[in-house]
Amino acid sequence: MKLLVTGGAGYIGGIVTRMLVDAGHEVVVLDDLSTGHTEALAPEATFVNARVHDAAQVLTPAAGFDGVLHFAAFIAAGESMTRPELYWENNTVGSLALIDAARAAGVRRFVFSSTAAVYGNPTELPIPESAVKAPTNTYGATKLAVDMALTSEAIGHDLGAVSLRYFNVAGAYLRDGVQLGERHDPETHLIPIALQVAAGRREKLQIFGDDYPTADGTCVRDYIHIEDLARAHLLALEAARPGEHRIYNLGNGNGFSNRAVAEVVREVTGRPVPVEIAPRREGDPAELVASSDRARTELGWTPAKPTLHDMVGDAWAFYRSQILEKA
Ligand SMILES: NC(=O)c1ccc[n+]([C@@H]2O[C@H](COP(=O)([O-])OP(=O)(O)OC[C@H]3O[C@@H](n4cnc5c(N)ncnc54)[C@H](O)[C@@H]3O)[C@@H](O)[C@H]2O)c1
């Protein structure tokens, strides 16, 4: 297929692009490099430096695209509460412009990066796709708005849409001897921050709250290996059917507390990771664990690297080879 990947200079989009290319697809990456990196771009893909808002310039009826995979977004939940207008404009307005362009170009397959943040404080665990959607931050709300727009687009204009609701993505992907991993700046994700502490690049790991109703009092999250997550996109692309909006949670169904993550980072790196307990953050649910039964049943997806040791081990291999050794 000829595919447009938005956000292909980012962590997840860059890795999925490589898997798409390796599977024989032709890929054009659209990214404005606002948070992405040219190193993350797959050399085999054509790169267009532009905003998703201007996607119609690339996604023309004559260009012959078969599908869009839409990763481009701002992703920092905390910042989305202090600068909400940026998130609505980038994530929702940008996505609506992309959907318009896809419609005008006759594109029938659309795979969207949604998030566990659409559920907010879950009313049931593990969380099924049918759970109440009540985001506790603007980031989650901007993604839920796009999910809803895709449902309308499937009904009204026969789009074949798939929303993948990722839980916490972690790990790295080894391709042609090079590790590809997570480089967010500022980093807001627990595992890469803990690795920075292990590497001596940060003094301590802040854990926000240890009085949650969980076994050790710290928040519990479901982690998914980037390789497993990326593979689900290829399955989703095949599964897209005109007129249907399919929605799948992607997680492992196992929760790990923040303290447990710090412990695994100590074990994998063999280095100390001092922890400081900080006040709770507004809007952080105590526990987020996915039910991915639907992805398993309907997409035939099964995670190959479900353990936290796999994820932290690969993330550490990336961090050492691509960040520490190149510094
Ligand atoms: N990383 C996670 O754990 C996680 C969890 C749930 C959902 N997601 C979703 O997955 C997607 C990818 O996340 P990531 O971790 O790879 O983030 P990332 O920041 O590494 O990548 C996002 C990419 O999108 C680009 N971009 C942002 N706004 C753009 C715009 N308007 N036009 C063009 N390009 C733009 C950035 O330059 C960057 O290359 C996001 O949509 C995010 O919401 C990520």
pLDDT score for 168:
96
232 φ/ψ angles, rounded to the nearest 5 degrees: -60, -30
- pLDDT per position as a tens digit, 106-158: 999 999 999 999 999 999 999 999 999 999 999 999 999 999 999 999 999 99
Angle at 199 between CA 196 and CA 202, to 5 degrees: 45
Q: How far apart are CA 261 and CA 206, in angstroms?
A: 12
The two tokens of residue 203 are 């003094």
Q: Report the nearest-CA residue for atom 9 of ligand 1.
A: 113
Q: Is 238:306 a contact under the CB 8 Å cutoff? A: no
Q: Is 121:70 a contact under the CB 8 Å cutoff? A: no
Residue 7 C-alpha to ligand 1 middle, in angstroms?
6
pLDDT score for 283:
77
Residue 295 C-alpha to ligand 1 middle, in angstroms?
22
Long-range contacts, 100-105 (Cβ 8 Å, 24+): 100/56, 101/55, 101/56, 101/59, 102/55, 102/59, 102/65, 102/68, 102/159, 103/153, 103/157, 103/159, 104/56, 104/59, 104/61, 105/56, 105/59, 105/60, 105/61, 105/63, 105/65
Burial 206-241 (b: 16+ CB within 10 A, else e): bbbbbebebeebbbbbbbbbbbbbbbbbbbbbebbb
Output the tens digit of pLDDT for each of the chain's 327 residues. 999 999 999 999 999 999 999 999 999 999 999 999 999 999 999 999 999 999 999 999 999 999 999 999 999 998 999 999 999 999 999 999 999 999 999 999 999 999 999 999 999 999 999 999 999 999 999 999 999 999 999 999 999 999 999 999 999 999 999 999 999 888 999 999 999 999 999 999 999 999 999 999 999 999 999 999 999 999 999 999 999 999 999 999 999 999 999 999 999 999 999 999 999 988 788 999 999 999 999 999 999 999 999 999 999 999 999 888 887
Angle at 79 between CA 217 and CA 48, to 5 degrees: 125
Q: Is 219:286 a contact under the CB 8 Å cutoff? A: yes
Instruction: Return the bridge partners of 256, or none.
Output: 221
Domains of the chain and CATH, by start: 2-169+224-250 (3.40.50.720), 172-222+253-324 (3.90.25.10)
Atom of ligand 1 nearest to the CA of 36: 39
Q: Candidates 30, 59, 71, 288: which one to mutate for ligand 1, based on the most atoms within 8 Å of Cβ?
A: 71
* pTM for the structure as a whole: 0.97
> Roughly how many angstroms between the first and final C-alpha of the chain, as a whole number?
38
Q: Residue 95: CB within 6 Å of ligand 1?
A: no
pLDDT score for 83:
96
Q: How far apart are CA 168 and CA 289, in angstroms?
A: 10
Give SS3 for 61: helix
Q: Which residues are identified as catalytic?
A: 139
Alpha helices in the chain (DSSP H): 11-22, 77-82, 84-87, 94-105, 138-157, 190-198, 226-239, 258-269, 293-294, 308-318
